[in-house]
Each structure stands twice: as C-alpha cells, then as structure tokens.
Structure 1
Amino acid sequence: MQPMPALQPEVDADGDVHQHATQWFIRLQQPNCDRRLREAFAQWYAEPRNAEAYAAVQARWLRSAVPPERPRPNPVQLRRSKAGAYLGVLFLLLLAALAYLYWPWAQRQTSDLHSAPGERRIVKLNEGSSVQLNGASALNLDLRGRVRQLHLLQGQMYLEVRLDGRAMEVQVDDARIQVFGTRLLIGRRADGGELVVLDGKAMVTQGGDQRLVSAGERVSFGAHGIATVQKADIQAAQAWRKGELIAQDMPLGELLQRLTSPQGQRVWLLDEQTAHRRISGHFDLDHAEQTLQRLAAEQQVALHDLFGHGWLLR
C-alpha cells in the first residue's frame, strides 16, 4: 500500500480509487484528524466514483464489526429426584404439625387477656365486672361501646357482670351469647362451646337458631348447632375454679380433653372405642400430669408425650 499524502492524495486515471478510499477511511479514524484534513477529504469525496468507493469501504467495515451470533445454550433438563420430593413433602408436614402445636400459644400471646398453662387468673375489668380464667385461656374484649363485647378464644371463664345500663355479649367461635344475668360459666373446647348460667339468663344465638338459658341450666353448641337446654350440675360445672374436675358418666375422650386443656396441651386417643368409655370420679387439675398417668394406667392405655405439647394414647 502506498503512503497517503498529508492532505489530499493525487489520483490519476490508472490509480486504484478503492485503495485511496481505504486510506481515507483509516486516516479519518485517527485521533489527530484535524479540520484541514477533513476539508481535503470533502474535496476528494465530491467526485462521484470516490464517494461510491468510500461507501463500499465503509460498508465492508460495518459488516466486519458486527459480532457473530452466539450459539444458544441447550436448555437444561432438570431431573426431579423422588427422594427430594419426599423430603419436600416431609418438610411441609413437619411445618404444618409445628404450626398446629404452637398456634394456641401464639394466640394466647396476642390476646388482650390470657392465663398461663396451669394458672387460674382473676381479673377485675375497668367497668367493674370480673373474670376468672382457667389455665391456658385467652380472651379479647372491647368495653368502650354501648355493647360490651368479649371474645373467648380459648379455655374457660367465670364471668361476673356489673350491671351499668349497657348490654354485654360474649362471642365463642360463630356463636353469640347475650348476657341478661350476672354470673355465668362459659367454655370453649375443640368440639364447640358450653354455657352454664348461675344467676340470671342468657340467650345463645348461632346461625338462625336461638336458645334462652336460665339460672341452673346449661347448653352446648358447636358445628352441629345448639343442643337442647338441660339442667346443670352447678358443683361439677364450676369445680375447675378450685382446681378440680368432676366427671359423671363422662366419655374418656372428653375427660382427657378437659384434663389436659388447662395445661395448654392436647390429647389424641387412637382407639375410638376406648374414647367412648364412660368415666366417673374426681380428678386433680393442679397435678394434671400425674392424674393423666394414673388414669391411663387404670384404663390400660399407653401414654406418649409429644414434646410437651400434647399426649398420644393408644
């Protein structure tokens, strides 16, 4: 390649115009390209055949500057491992079991008023009424409005109402209790709720059904609706206030629930036939674990501790 003059190259008739076009293209890319050189290029470029040659050189450069297309990687085929799937299911089941065991504890911690497992707690409300909670019970309340509202989340309570001209309602799951008296026992269990009226009256409403309960009467309610109102055994109904559980021809499954619930525990009885055994007697709630072990031995069932949160009997 011949060296290019400082400004405009002399192009004769036999000269290679494409060679000069290449030289111009290279020179114009240099950082020391000044105004005088660009003016010389303009004079050279004014010739049509020069412009055509320069355009061809520029097009070749642009084609060579485009990077080649990268080959696309083959998609990765993920192979699912059966062991991994089983471990994932096992982890989800374990997570669900932990949530089931710890949910009652979490609910108590976020409630307005609660008692610890094994504790019986008496609280005077700011409007004058008083509440006694059995162990592992939880209560939300709103006493500011025209209707004083209580929501029993867990456990049992003894309610002594101070009459101040305002109504009072107690919510237990989807049942609503309108209080017309002054002393009541209200409980919430896994299979529903129970109301015992000691003084006055109360109206239980669930769905489209209602029951009026008078002093000395009891009624249970739950997923199957409101049961028939019955005469209450007042001594047995409020025995828990003294740390006792009185059972009179009670199914073993229900007895075990009433015994372990105040301790913040649950119980599972695997044999349904055994769960329906009828039991009578007085049981100590303040020493519930020893009572449970003695009862299991008497009924000849094996007792297994579930990490301190419940018991399995079989």
Structure 2
Amino acid sequence: MPAKQLQPDPQQEALEWFSLLRQPGCDDTQRQAFAAWCQLPDNAHAYAELETFWQQLQPPPARPRPRHVNERRSHQGKWLALVFLLGLGAAAYLYWPLMQRLASELHTDVGERRSTRLADGTTLNLDSASAMNVDLRGRTRQLHLVQGQVFLEVVLDGRAMEVEVGNARIQVFGTRLQVARHAGHDELVVLSGKAMVIQGGEQRMVSAGEQVTFDDTRIGPVHKADLKTADSWRTGRLTATDMPLGQVLKRLAAYQGQRVWILDEQMAHRRVSGNFNLDRPGESLQTLAAAQHLQLQGVLGHWLVVR
C-alpha cells in the first residue's frame, strides 16, 4: 500500500516560524522562505492568529505622561523647595539672636535688665535682649558684647581691659562707659575717663562726655553726648530728645521682642521727643502712634508694621 501523505498543520508551522524569526541567526534566506509560506491563505491566517495571541500576552506599554504634567510637577517641586528655603531662612533670621544669647555666658531675655558684678569688682548692667562673654584670666581682661547694650562701671586693678564689638576693639581707660550694638552700627558713650576704639588701621580716642559710632568698615567722628539721656534705660525709661522716630519705634518694639517695618521711609526720619516707659512698651507704642498719627499692625508676634 502507498504511504499515507501527512496533511500540513498551519498552526504548528506558524509556531515554528514564529520561533525561528525571533532567533538571532535568522537571515534573509529564511525570511524569504517565510514570505513564500505566507502566500497560502491558511498559513497567513494561522500566523496572524498567533501574532494576535502573543500581543495579548504582553503587558500594556507604559503610558507616557503628558509633557505639561511633568513640567507642572517640576515647577511645583521647585516652588516647594524655594518655600522651604525661605522658611528656613526666616526662622534663622528670627531665632538666631535668641540662639546667640543662650550660647553666651551672660544674657538677658526680652524686656529684662540685669546688673552683674564680676570677680574683679567691675559691674555690668545689661539691657533687654543683651549678651556678653567675659574672660578675666589674662593680663588683659577681655569682654565681648555679642548683642544688645551694656553699661560698664569698671574697677581699675592694674590690668588692661578690652571690649570686643564685632570687628572693633575698645581699649578702656576710664571707669564708666556704655557700649551698644544697633542695626547697622555700634556705639560707644564715655561718661567718665577715656576709651579708644580701634577698627583695622583706624582709631579714635573718646573722652568723658563724648560718643562715637562705628561699624565693620569705619569709625565715625567723635561728638558730644547727651549724658542725661544716654543711660536712662537703666531706670526703665527711654528719654528721646529730637530723636529719629524710627529709632524710638525700634527701641520700644525691641522691648517686646518685635522688629519694626516702616512702610514710609521719610516717616522714620521725623524727629520726636518724649519720655517713654520701657517696662510697658506696648502702651508706650500706642501713645507714640496716637501722637504721630501712625497705624501699628503686629504680624506673627515678631514684626511690627508701621504705616
């Protein structure tokens, strides 16, 4: 009997071609043979079904995110980072003075005044929110005014005394003097004796009844001081005689832990006189605002906006 002819199986052949075409060694000859095999409709149909089934088994491709969404999220991330940095900077700006005071050897809180007698007999009178470091061990007694204001009653014991204020040094030759750190400048007032301010290669000798201002770069001219009002803060009063309004506002606001923001710069230069109670700075500010027709607005307990 003649041998029985095997019928071609398009599905099986489609599977073989599917595997062969995905092999790395598949060449043009094999691809041409596959094209000839697909000329038969049953073969082409079987291979199309296999290809469709294979596509269904594949995971769906990742959906590309719209570019504008990515850009929006990128901008949002930048804004969040900027807000975080601004908040960090604001916190450092507001709380750095407090951290400096707490790290100092002698310090006072906001609204507090304190008198301290040192081991050599010298008396330090610290104003509100002030801080100092003291070193009396060497041949030269070293004081460092970190912030605020101090009134010194110096006892002369044969050793020199220096007060460090920022980048400047004050050599003390007298017995009573006042040193203050203000926003943008520092100040020395000598009530008795003498003192010399040294800043880089510049120096000024200040005698009793005189005062001088200085900063990190220069020393101003020496001029006469108003000794009746210079240390009035020690009795809880701020005595202003033809003083800039901005300076009075800053002194009163500082006694309740606030920084002043004056919206009208010309207003800050207006001259005022008066006697203000530092132990009740809020009432003093309201009295001054009523007299000068000012509007005061507290912000977050740290700022005082003046308009």
Name the residue aligned to 1:311.
304
Q: Distance in 1 between matches of 2:175 and 2:257?
A: 28
Of the three residues 147, 158, 169, the one matched with 2:162 is 169
Give the 3 Å change call, closer, same or farther, for CA 279–197 of structure 1 in structure 2: same
Name the residue aligned to 2:124.
131
Give the 3 Å change call, closer, same or farther, for CA 154–273 of structure 1 in structure 2: same
The answer to whether structure 1 residue 235 and structure 2 residue 190 are counterparts is no
Give the 3 Å change call, closer, same or farther, for CA 291–206 of structure 1 in structure 2: same
Of the three residues 126, 133, 136, the one matched with 1:140 is 133
Of the three residues 155, 158, 161, the one matched with 2:151 is 158
- The Cα of 1:280 is off from its aligned counterpart by 1.1
Give the 3 Å change call, closer, same or farther, for CA 231–253 of structure 1 in structure 2: same
Name the residue aligned to 1:300.
293
Give the 3 Å change call, closer, same or farther, for CA 289–190 of structure 1 in structure 2: same
Q: Distance in 2 between matches of 1:95 and 1:184?
A: 38
Name the residue aligned to 1:115.
108
Q: Distance in 1 between matches of 2:78 and 2:192?
A: 59
More deviation in 172-181 or 295-304? 295-304
- The Cα of 1:224 is off from its aligned counterpart by 5.7
Structure with max Cα Rg: 1
Q: Distance in 2 between matches of 1:144 and 1:264?
A: 34
Alignment of 1:76-225 (within 5 A): 80-223=73-216, 225=218
| SS of alignment partner, residue 148 of structure 2 | strand
Alignment of 1:278-289 (within 5 A): 278-289=271-282
Amino acid corresponding to residue 246 of structure 1 in structure 2: T
Please report the TM-score for the alignment, with normalisation by the length of structure 1: 0.72
Q: Distance in 1 between matches of 2:256 and 2:203?
A: 32
Cα pair 1:155 1:261 within 8 Å, conserved: no
Cα pair 1:137 1:262 within 8 Å, conserved: no
- The Cα of 1:98 is off from its aligned counterpart by 1.3
Q: Distance in 1 between matches of 2:160 and 2:258?
A: 34
The unaligned stretches of length 5 or more in structure 1 are 1-72
The unaligned stretches of length 5 or more in structure 2 are 1-61
Cα pair 1:116 1:137 within 8 Å, conserved: yes
| SS of alignment partner, residue 179 of structure 2 | strand
Cα pair 2:199 2:217 within 8 Å, conserved: no
Name the residue aligned to 1:6.
none
Q: Could you report, residue by residue, the CA deviation over 1:214-237 in whole angstroms, capped at 9, with x for unpaired residues? A: 111111112562111111111110
Name the residue aligned to 1:226.
219
Q: Distance in 2 between matches of 1:230 and 1:113?
A: 31
Q: Distance in 1 between matches of 2:138 and 2:300?
A: 43
Cα pair 1:135 1:263 within 8 Å, conserved: no
- The Cα of 1:199 is off from its aligned counterpart by 1.1
Name the residue aligned to 1:256.
249
Q: Distance in 2 between matches of 1:84 and 1:95?
A: 16
Cα pair 1:134 1:262 within 8 Å, conserved: no
- The Cα of 1:129 is off from its aligned counterpart by 0.8
Give the 3 Å change call, closer, same or farther, for CA 297–95 of structure 1 in structure 2: farther
Q: Across the two proteins, how many residue pairs are aligned to each other?
A: 241
Amino acid corresponding to residue 248 of structure 1 in structure 2: T
Q: Distance in 2 between matches of 1:92 and 1:304?
A: 26
Amino acid corresponding to residue 250 of structure 2 in structure 1: Q
Q: Distance in 1 between matches of 2:254 and 2:203?
A: 28
